[in-house]
Structure 1
Amino acid sequence: MFTRRPRRRRVVTAAAASACVAFAAGWFVIGSASAGTLSGTLYRDPDSQVVRWVSANPNDSRMPVIRDKVASQSQARWMANFNVSTVQSEVSAFVSAANAVNQVPVLTSYAIPNRDCGGASAGGAPDLNQYQQWISGYARGLGNRTVIVIMETDALALQTCLSGTEVQQRDQAISTAVQTLKAANPNAKVYLDGGHSAWNSASEQGSRLVAAGVQYADGFFTNVSNFQPLGNELNYGRSIISYLQGRGISGKHQVIDTSRNGGAAGDWCADDNTDRRIGNYPTLNTGDANVDGYLWIKPPGEADGCNYAAGSFQAALAYSLAASAPYPPAGSPTASPSASRSSSSPSASPSASRSPSASASPSRSSGGGACSATYQTVSTWQGGFQAGVTVTAGSAPISGWTVTWTLASGQSITQLWNGTLTTSGSSVTVRNQAYNGSLAAGSSTQFGFTATGNVSTPTLSCTVS
C-alpha cells in the first residue's frame, strides 16, 4: 500500500515565481569540515519504492538514469501509517538495519490528527491521545544511536483548518512528542516543521516553532516537497535562527530538503511539472555551521496527489527530475557501487536561463582549441553566490577537458560539483571527472560551484586534456 506524502500549499506570488533557478542547484562536493552538528554516512534504504522499481524494470530505457541518480541515494523512510500495535517494530527494523552498517537513518513521523488539513495526504491519528500512544511506540523503536527524525511535515506551517484552541493543542502534542523521542534516545536528532522560504515569514514560522517546543528539539526542517532554491532556504533558515536566538533559544540548526529544488520554483505540485530537477545529493557534510544536512525527505518520483495517488512511485516523475541532473559526485558516500554511467543516458546538462538572481553581466565564453566554456551566475545571497559553467566540445569528440580562470579579489570557492578543483592563489583549474570528460562533437556538460565574495563574470579558458 502506498503511503501518502505531504502536500505543500500553493504559494505562487510574483516574488515566489521569480525565484526560479533553471540551472541545477546542487550536487556539492565539500571539504573535510562538516560544519553542522552531524557527521557520518546517510543510510540508503535497500527496500525503497524506487529500488524495487529498478529491480523490477531492468529493460526500461529510463532505468539507468533512475538507478544511478535516484535509487543510489539516501531517502527518508516515511512513518505515516497510523497503527499503534506495529509502529515500534516498523521503526526498529529500519533503524536497526542502518545501525548494522554504521549509517545514519532518516525517517519521518507523519501521523498528527487532521494531517494536511484534509488534503491529498489526509489521515493520521484519530485524536491526540492516540497520537501520543503512537509516538510512544515510535520512540521505543529508535534504539540508542544517531537517528534523524523529521517531525510532522506541514503541522506548523499549515494550520488554516485549526481553531485557536486546536492550534494550542497541536503545539502541546508536538512538544510532548519531541520530549518523548529525546527521552527514549538522547542521540536522536529531531527537527520541527519550518515550512519554506516562500510561505510564512521567518518571524511567523519562528513563533510557531517556539510554541511547539523547538527548544526541546535540535532544530527545524524546510522545503519538504517543495522547490525553493537553496540560497533562499539558507537565508530563510538564518532568519529563523536569528529569531529564535532573540527569544533566548540558541543552538538550533536547519536541515533542508533538496530532493527537487534544482530547477524552477512555483506551484508546489510536481505531478505534471517537468521543469523540476533533483537538487543537492543528500549529505551531512554541508559546510555550513547552521545546516545539519541536505536531505531527500520527499523521495524523488513519489507523487504529491495531483495526478497520481499521493506517495505512489511514478517512474515518469523520477526520470523527469533526474534526466538532466549531473551524476552523483565521485566518492559520494551514498552512491551505489553498481551504478554505471550508461552512455545512452541523457546529457547531464540542464540549461541556465531565466534566473532572476543571476548577474546582469553578460556571460563570456572563450574557446581553447577543441572546447569552449561559458559562465552563468545562478543565484546570489549576502556574501556569496552560486555559478554554473557549461563545457562544450568543438567540431570533434574530446576525451577530457580543463577550464581555468582567475578569481576576483575577495572571492573564494567553497564547494564545487561535477568537476575536480585545484586552486593556487587566485588561479582556478577545474578538470573533468571520470564520467563527464568524454564529449561527442558539439555536446556539452556542466559543473557548478558556490563561492564567497562579490559576484563577477570571469573570462574562462577551456583546453582539451
Structure 2
Amino acid sequence: MAILSPRRRRSTALTVAAVAGATAAGVCLAVGSASAGTISGPLYRDPSSAVVRWVAANPGDSRAAVIRDKIASQPQARWFANFNISTAQSEAAAYVGAANAAQQIPVLSVYQITNRDCGGASAGGAPDLNQYQTWVSNFSRGLGNQTVIIILETDSLALLTCLNSNEINARNQAISTATRTIKSANPNAKVYLDAGHSTWNSANETANRLRAAGVQYADGFFSNVSNYNSTSSEANFGRAVISALNGMGLSGKRQVIDTSRNGGASGDWCGDDNTDRRIGMYPTTNTGDSNIDAYLWVKPPGEADGCRYTAGSFQPDLAYSLANGVPNPPTTAPPTTAPPTTAPPTTAPPTTAPPTTAPPTTAPPTTAPPTTPPPTGNGCSASVAVNQWNGGFTASVTVTAGSAAINGWTVTITLPSGAAVTGVWNAQASGTSGTVRYTNVGYNGRVGAGQSTNFGFQGTGTGPSTASCAAS
C-alpha cells in the first residue's frame, strides 16, 4: 500500500490531539447493527481527523461540500506508525476513549514492525523486536475493554522478500505474540493479520503465512489496504483463504476489506497523480456476508502516497478527485445483500499490485517518474522505475502510447546478470531471467493516444534500468 510501492500506500501516523470545533456540519453517518460477520455497531468517525479539520477550516472552498459529505462524514482508521514507547499507551487510550464515549467502534492500524517496508521508503517502526513487544504491551494497555478493530502490521506477511528464514520466523513469532498481548489486554479486541490482496500472493500461500504468524489467536485477516482491487475480487480471495485455513483446522476466521479507493478505475498506480480512482463502498460492519466482518477505510481517502506530496499528508485535490461523482452515503443502514461474487471488477486491478512476494509497503519508487516522451505514430514507449533493496527489487514499468491509440503491447527488458523475476502483476511474462518479454493482459492492452498504463514485477538481484516497447 504502499505505488504505493507496487502494493499500496500507508497512512502516516497522526497525533491524537483533539481539535475543538472541527466537526463536519450537515452530514449523515450511515450506522446500524451488523448483518453477518462478528462485529455489530457503528464505526468511529474521528472529529479531529485531517479531513474533518480541513473542512472546518475551508467552508468557502468549492470542493468542501463534496469532501465533507462523502469523505469527512465517514469513519476511517487511525494509523499508529510513529514509534514512541513512552506515548504508546496514552495515544491509544485517548483515541479509544473518545470512540467509547461516542459509543462507536474505533479502527486502529498498527504499523510498527521491525524492518518495516524492507528498509524502503516507508522504513521505520521498532528498532528491534524486543522493543516492538514493549511498544505493543504499552499500546495494549490503552485499548480499554470494549470492541476495537486492530489492523495489525500492513504488509508484514505479504512482504517477506528482504528477510531470511530466521528473520521470517522471528517476525512470525513477534506478530503471534503481539496478537495474544492485545487479546489478553482487551478480550473484546478484534485483531486481523495481513493477507496482502487478491492480486498478490495466492490464497494457499497467504493461508500458510497467516498460520505461521499465529492467525489462530486472531479474529481473521485484512486485505486490500491502500489498494484498488474490487470488493468482489477481494471477497472471492477471502473465501479462498478461509477455505485454505479451514483445511488446516483453523476455522472461524473472517476478513475485513479496505474499500477506501477501490470504487473505480484506471490510471497511474500512484494515488497522488491519479484522477480516475474513486472511493469504494462506504465503511460499515453491515456487510451481509458471513465471511466479512467489515468494509473499512483503512487508508484515509485524500491522504497522499508520497509521489507529488508528502506521504500521509491530507490533500484536498486528491480527496475531491476520489469523491467527485460518487453517490452520497446512505442515511440508513446499507443493504444487507452481499456484494457480487462473480461479476468482474468494474475497473482493472491495481496497476501496482504486488507479486507473489511483495515489494515495500507504502511508498512509491524512490526514483523520479519516467520522463521519456511518448513516440509518434502508432507506437509505444516504456520506462522503468526500480525500488532496490539488499538482495532484491521491485520495478514499476510505464507503457505510453504515441499519437495514436494502441490495442496491445509487448515490453522487452534485459535483466542484469544474476537477476531473476519472482513475480509479475498486470502483465504476462515470457521467462524469469535474461531477456524477458512482458505482454499486456486483457484489461490493459488498449491505451489511448498519449495515455499510459502500468505493470510491475519483483525479483532478486539487481533491477533493470531500461525497457523497450512494441505495439501489437
Deviations 1:362-408 (A, max 9, x none): xxxxxxxxxxxxxxxxx9634x7899xxxxxxxxxxxxxxxxxxxxx
Aligned to 1:151: 152
| Preserved contact between residue 32 and residue 41 of structure 2 (Cα < 8 Å) | no
Aligned to 1:82: 83
- Matched to 2:328, the amino acid is Y
Q: CA deviation at 1:269?
A: 2.4
Measured at CA, do residues 147 and 268 of structure 1 come closer, stay the same or move farther in structure 2, by a change above 3 Å?
A: farther
Query: Counterpart of 2:86 in 1: which secondary structure?
Result: coil
Query: Counterpart of 1:311 in 2: which secondary structure?
Result: coil
- Matched to 2:226, the amino acid is S
Measured at CA, do residues 11 and 115 of structure 1 come closer, stay the same or move farther in structure 2, by a change above 3 Å?
A: closer
Measured at CA, do residues 66 and 230 of structure 1 come closer, stay the same or move farther in structure 2, by a change above 3 Å?
A: same
Aligned to 2:218: 217
Q: CA deviation at 1:11?
A: 6.6
Matched, 1:381 2:341: yes
Give runs of aligned pairs for residues 102-181 of structure 1, distance below 5 A: 102-181=103-182
Measured at CA, do residues 267 and 66 of structure 1 come closer, stay the same or move farther in structure 2, by a change above 3 Å?
A: same
Query: Counterpart of 2:85 in 1: which secondary structure?
Result: coil
Q: 6, 18, 21: which one pairs with 1:10?
A: 6
Give runs of aligned pairs for residues 291-440 of structure 1, distance below 5 A: 291-331=292-332, 381-382=341-342
Matched, 1:262 2:271: no
Aligned to 1:206: 207
Q: CA deviation at 1:164?
A: 1.4
| Preserved contact between residue 120 and residue 310 of structure 1 (Cα < 8 Å) | no
Q: Distance in 2 between matches of 1:167 and 1:232?
A: 28
- Matched to 2:287, the amino acid is T
Aligned to 2:35: 34
| Preserved contact between residue 192 and residue 214 of structure 1 (Cα < 8 Å) | yes
Deviates more, 1:69-78 or 1:153-162: 153-162
Matched, 1:63 2:23: no
Q: How many residues are matched?
A: 322
RMSD: 2.3
Deviations 1:148-200 (A, max 9, x none): 00000011111111111111111110000000000000000000001000111
Query: Counterpart of 1:86 in 2: which secondary structure?
Result: helix
Q: Distance in 2 between matches of 1:158 and 1:268?
A: 18
Measured at CA, do residues 92 and 7 of structure 1 come closer, stay the same or move farther in structure 2, by a change above 3 Å?
A: farther
Q: CA deviation at 1:305?
A: 1.6
Aligned to 1:371: none
Q: Distance in 1 between matches of 2:142 and 2:237?
A: 33
- The two structures have a TM-score, normalised by structure 1, of 0.66
Measured at CA, do residues 260 and 164 of structure 1 come closer, stay the same or move farther in structure 2, by a change above 3 Å?
A: same
Query: Counterpart of 2:227 in 1: which secondary structure?
Result: coil
Q: Distance in 2 between matches of 1:37 and 1:311?
A: 30
Query: Counterpart of 1:189 in 2: which secondary structure?
Result: strand
Query: Counterpart of 1:263 in 2: which secondary structure?
Result: coil
| Preserved contact between residue 32 and residue 333 of structure 2 (Cα < 8 Å) | no
Measured at CA, do residues 88 and 268 of structure 1 come closer, stay the same or move farther in structure 2, by a change above 3 Å?
A: farther
Query: Counterpart of 1:381 in 2: which secondary structure?
Result: coil
Q: CA deviation at 1:220?
A: 0.2
Aligned to 1:283: 284
Q: CA deviation at 1:240?
A: 0.2
Query: Counterpart of 2:109 in 1: which secondary structure?
Result: strand
| Preserved contact between residue 7 and residue 225 of structure 1 (Cα < 8 Å) | no
Q: Distance in 1 between matches of 2:65 and 2:196?
A: 33
Q: Distance in 2 between matches of 1:160 and 1:323?
A: 38
Q: CA deviation at 1:60?
A: 1.1
Q: CA deviation at 1:120?
A: 2.9
Measured at CA, do residues 211 and 167 of structure 1 come closer, stay the same or move farther in structure 2, by a change above 3 Å?
A: same
Measured at CA, do residues 266 and 247 of structure 1 come closer, stay the same or move farther in structure 2, by a change above 3 Å?
A: farther
Q: CA deviation at 1:33?
A: 6.0
Aligned to 1:46: 47
Q: Which runs of 5+ in 1 are unaligned?
A: 13-28, 334-378, 388-465
Q: Distance in 1 between matches of 2:153 and 2:43?
A: 20
Deviations 1:288-329 (A, max 9, x none): 000000000000001112221111111111111001111111
Deviates more, 1:136-145 or 1:269-278: 269-278
Aligned to 2:94: 93
Q: Which runs of 5+ in 2 are unaligned?
A: 9-29, 347-472
| Preserved contact between residue 194 and residue 205 of structure 1 (Cα < 8 Å) | yes
Deviations 1:37-90 (A, max 9, x none): 001011100010111111111111111101110000000011111000001000
| Preserved contact between residue 30 and residue 286 of structure 1 (Cα < 8 Å) | no
Aligned to 2:274: 273
Measured at CA, do residues 265 and 232 of structure 1 come closer, stay the same or move farther in structure 2, by a change above 3 Å?
A: farther
Q: CA deviation at 1:9?
A: 4.3
Q: CA deviation at 1:331?
A: 2.4
Q: CA deviation at 1:281?
A: 0.3
Structure 1 segments (4+ residues) deviating >3 Å:
5-9, 29-33, 265-268, 379-382, 384-387
Measured at CA, do residues 62 and 33 of structure 1 come closer, stay the same or move farther in structure 2, by a change above 3 Å?
A: closer
Query: Counterpart of 1:255 in 2: which secondary structure?
Result: strand
Q: Distance in 2 between matches of 1:284 and 1:380?
A: 17
Query: Counterpart of 1:148 in 2: which secondary structure?
Result: strand
Q: CA deviation at 1:232?
A: 0.4
Q: Distance in 2 between matches of 1:54 and 1:114?
A: 36
Q: CA deviation at 1:272?
A: 0.4
Deviates more, 1:236-245 or 1:163-172: 163-172
Q: Distance in 2 between matches of 1:239 and 1:55?
A: 43
- The two structures have a TM-score, normalised by structure 2, of 0.65
Give runs of aligned pairs for residues 185-200 of structure 1, distance below 5 A: 185-200=186-201
Aligned to 1:243: 244
Q: Distance in 1 between matches of 2:51 and 2:320?
A: 11
Q: Distance in 2 between matches of 1:30 and 1:89?
A: 28
Query: Counterpart of 1:233 in 2: which secondary structure?
Result: helix
Measured at CA, do residues 170 and 63 of structure 1 come closer, stay the same or move farther in structure 2, by a change above 3 Å?
A: same
